[in-house]
Structure 1
Amino acid sequence: MDVKTAFFYLFSLVMLFAAFRVITARNPVHAVLFLMLTFSQAAGVWLLLKAEFLAIVLVLVYLGAVMVLFLFVVMMLDIHIDSLRQGFWRHFPLALGIGAVISLEMAVVLFGGFRAGEAPLIPETVTNAAGEVVQYSNTKVLGQLVYTEYLYPMEIAAVILLLAMVAAIALTLRQRKDYKRTDPAQQVRVHAWDRLEIIKMAPTQAPPPAAEPAAATAQELKQ
C-alpha cells in the first residue's frame, strides 16, 4: 500500500464516521461541526484525485460560508430538542424503509453502472492554440468546459438556484409582532392636528391652601 492509498482510506474512514455522527448527534451544533469535518475530508479526497479546484471551492464555499452560516443560525435559533424528538419511533419504520430503498438503488448504480478501470493519465504539458507548450492546468480546462460546452446548463442551474433563494425568502418572511413598525407614507401625510390635541379637563384636586405668615418672634414684638 502506497502513501496515496493510505491517505485515501484515512480520509474516507474519517468522512464516513463524521457523516454518521451528523445524523446521530443529539446536539445540533455538534451535528453541524461534524458536517464541516465531513466536507473537509471530502476536500482531501478531491485533492488526491487531482481536482484541486473542486477541493478549494468545497473548502471556501461550504466550510467558509455555508456551514459557518448554518452554525450561526443553529446557535441563534431557540431549538427545542425534546419537541423535535417527539414521534421519532412512530415514523421510524417509514424512514427505515425509505433508507433501505435508497441504499438498494445506490448499490445497483455503483456495482452495475460503474466499472473499475485505470485512472486517466494527466499530461504535465499541453499545446495551446498558438502552438506554445504550456503547463497543464486542471482549473483552466474545467473553466473552458464550463463556459463553452456546459454554458447553458450552468446558466439554467444559476437561475434555478436564484428562484430557490427567492422562494425560500418569500416563504420564511413573516411580519414580527414584537416590535413597533412605522409607515413612511403615513409619516409624510401627517398633519399637526393629527399629532397633538389639547383637551381642557377639570381639576381633580383642590388647590393647596395659601401659606400662613410665619409667627413673629419675641424680639420683633419688642421692637
Structure 2
Amino acid sequence: MTFQTLIFYFLAAVLIFAAVRVITAKNPVHAALFLVLSFFNGSALWLLIQAEFLGITLVLVYVGAVMVLFLFVVMMLDINFEKLRAGFWKHLPLAGIVAGLMVVEMVAVFSSPASGLGDFNSIQTAATEDGNTKIIGKALYTQFIYPFEIAAIILLVAIVAAIALTLRGRKDAKAQDPGLQAKVKSTDRVRVIKMAAVVEQPVTVDEQKTGE
C-alpha cells in the first residue's frame, strides 16, 4: 500500500464519518460544521486525483459562500428542530431501504462500460499536457456525460424534496395573491374627500376668561 492510497483511505473515512454526523447531530450548528469538514475532505480527495480546479472550487463556493449562508440562517432563525426531527427514527428503515437501492443502482451504472469510468490513467496523462481545467471540461461533457446527467437528476430530486418539505400549511401563515395585486387601481387605495373650508375666528381675552 502506497502513501497516496493510505491518505485516500484516511480522508475517505473522515468524509464518511462527517457525512453521517451531518444527519445525526442534534445541534444544527454542529451539523453545519460537520458538513464543512466533509467538504474539506472531498476537496482533498479531488487534489489526490490531480483535479485542483474542482478541489479549490469546492472550498471557495461551498465552504466560503454556501455554508456561511447556512450558518447565518440556522443561527438567526428560531426553528424548533425537535419538532422537525420528530419522525426521523420512525421513517429511518424506509429511508435506509431507499438509500440502499440508490447505492445499488449507482454501482450498477458506474460499473458498466457505457459510463466511461474505467480509464483514469489516460485522463491524468492528458491533464498534464492540456491543463487541468481544459481536460476536466472535455472529460465531463464527452466521456463522463452519462454520470454527469445522473448527478444533475439527483440534485434536481434533492431540490424538489427540499421545496416539498418546506411547503407545510400553517394556520397563521399569510399569503398574497399577485393577481389581485395587479388588478388594484388607485381609487381602491386612496379616496379623496372634499370638505368645506372652516375659518377659525380669533379668540379674545374676554372669551378666554369666560371659558375658564
Matched, 1:107 2:101: no
Matched, 1:95 2:92: yes
Aligned-partner Cα distance in 2 for 1:82–1:119 = 45
Aligned-partner Cα distance in 1 for 2:107–2:142 = 30
Name the counterpart of 1:9.
9
Deviation at 1:85, TM superposition (A): 3.6
Q: Identify if the C-alpha distance between structure 1 residues 146 and 7 changes in structure 2 by more than 3 Å, giving closer, same or farther.
A: closer
The one-character-per-residue Cα deviations of 1:5-36 (angstroms, maximum 9, x if unpaired) are 01101100100110111111010000000001
Amino acid at match of 2:19: A
Deviation at 1:71, TM superposition (A): 0.9
- Check whether the contact 2:46–2:52 (CA below 8 A) recurs between aligned residues: yes
Q: Identify if the C-alpha distance between structure 1 residues 9 and 125 changes in structure 2 by more than 3 Å, giving closer, same or farther.
A: closer
What CA RMSD, in Å, does the superposition of the two structures yield over aligned residues?
4.6
Aligned-partner Cα distance in 2 for 1:81–1:105 = 27
Q: Identify if the C-alpha distance between structure 1 residues 17 and 145 changes in structure 2 by more than 3 Å, giving closer, same or farther.
A: closer
**Greater helix fraction, Structure 1 or Structure 2:** 2
Q: What TM-score does the superposition give when structure 1 sets the normalisation length?
A: 0.56
- Check whether the contact 2:53–2:132 (CA below 8 A) recurs between aligned residues: yes
- Check whether the contact 2:127–2:135 (CA below 8 A) recurs between aligned residues: no
Q: Which has the larger radius of gyration?
A: 1
Aligned-partner Cα distance in 2 for 1:125–1:45 = 17
- Check whether the contact 2:126–2:135 (CA below 8 A) recurs between aligned residues: no
- Check whether the contact 1:123–1:136 (CA below 8 A) recurs between aligned residues: no
Q: Identify if the C-alpha distance between structure 1 residues 104 and 88 changes in structure 2 by more than 3 Å, giving closer, same or farther.
A: closer
Name the counterpart of 2:31.
31
The one-character-per-residue Cα deviations of 1:73-127 (angstroms, maximum 9, x if unpaired) are 11111122333343445x3xx331232132133135426751796642333788x
Aligned-partner Cα distance in 1 for 2:104–2:142 = 34
Q: How many residues align?
A: 175
Name the counterpart of 2:130.
136
Name the counterpart of 1:188.
none
Name the SS for the 1:9 alignment partner.
helix
The one-character-per-residue Cα deviations of 1:133-158 (angstroms, maximum 9, x if unpaired) are xx4312122345679998xx99xx8x
Name the SS for the 2:11 alignment partner.
helix
- Check whether the contact 1:46–1:54 (CA below 8 A) recurs between aligned residues: yes
Identity of matched residues, %: 45
Name the counterpart of 1:72.
72
Q: Identify if the C-alpha distance between structure 1 residues 81 and 124 changes in structure 2 by more than 3 Å, giving closer, same or farther.
A: closer
Within 5 Å, give how 1:142-153 maps onto structure 2. Answer: 142-143=136-137
Q: What TM-score does the superposition give when structure 2 sets the normalisation length?
A: 0.59
Aligned-partner Cα distance in 1 for 2:39–2:69 = 15
Q: Identify if the C-alpha distance between structure 1 residues 101 and 83 changes in structure 2 by more than 3 Å, giving closer, same or farther.
A: closer
